[in-house]
Structure 1
Amino acid sequence: MLKNDLYTIISLENHSGAVSATIGLNVQHQIFEGHFPGQPVLPGVCMMQIAKELAEEATGKKLFLNNAAQCKFLSMVDPQKTPELTAVIDYKEAGENNIAVNAVLKSAETAFFKMSARLSVI
């Protein structure tokens, strides 16, 4: 879990089938020391995990990333330049014990990450 360590939820609005959250990155987190020294970048796998964790917050269910049909890393997140991100996640039931999500991590008009995935309830 990255919540309350790598990032914190500043605000979260959950409307049936859609969640919008503002998160604050912990710019002092040790992951940025190694990824990359002197030029910190939020790892792509962390963006995927953040989207999954916010989907869990929205649904109230423990989820497993089953299939990422589409995953695009559009721009690098420098936590020193962009310490806050907005996550927009649309979600819906997709068969028994599955949830389909479309997630975007962005700041203002810059999208950093987009993902279409299927998450399984565990």
Structure 2
Amino acid sequence: MLLENKYYKIVDSCGEGLNAVFRIVLLPDCDVYRGHFPGNQVCPGVCNIQTIKECVMQLTEEKLLIGTIKQCRMTAVASPVVCPEVNVTITVLPIDRGFTVTAAITDTERTYMEYKGDMIVDSILP
């Protein structure tokens, strides 16, 4: 399931080549938040990883699967109430059959997630 326009919305992006920063708004009315700590909404780590993957897919114009997660650290709790807008900063390096991705989800005060891993091109997805 793609999360764009359900869990988050991209409001801006900038970058050069395979480096980019996506400015996103977290959508607090998403069903994910209703089921994940109702009344105290937090961003689930799996949704943060999916958000990073979808931003990488936009950047590379490829349909991707997560191949290997080498590092994934949640360094602070993100919430659409506390931090309604965040940046997803991405650096992508081409490798055989895909990309090595380094990414972070941040705002002006803190880093919420740091991610490093390989994503592979999915030739099966339509």
**TM class, shorter-length:** over 0.9
1:100 and 2:100 are equivalent in the alignment: yes
The answer for the alignment partner of 1:91 in structure 2 is 92
The answer for the alignment partner of 1:77 in structure 2 is 78
List gaps (5 residues or longer) in structure 2.
none
- List, as ranges, runs of 4+ consecutive aligned residues in structure 1 with deviation greater than 3 Å: none
List gaps (5 residues or longer) in structure 1.
none
In 2: Cα distance, 1:84 partner to 1:2 partner? 15
Alpha-carbon offset, residue 109 of structure 1: 3.0
> What are the equivalent positions in structure 2 for 1:28-107 lying under 5 Å apart?
28-94=29-95, 96-107=96-107
SS of 2:77's equivalent?
coil
Q: Is the 8 A contact 1:22 1:86 kept in 2?
A: yes
TM-score for the superposition, normalised by structure 1: 0.96
Alpha-carbon offset, residue 99 of structure 1: 0.2
In 2: Cα distance, 1:22 partner to 1:120 partner? 24
Q: Letter of the aligned partner of 2:104 in structure 1? A: V
Alpha-carbon offset, residue 4 of structure 1: 1.1
Identity %: 26
The answer for the alignment partner of 2:13 in structure 1 is 12
Alpha-carbon offset, residue 112 of structure 1: 0.1
Matched positions, count: 121
SS of 1:5's equivalent?
coil
TM-score for the superposition, normalised by structure 2: 0.93
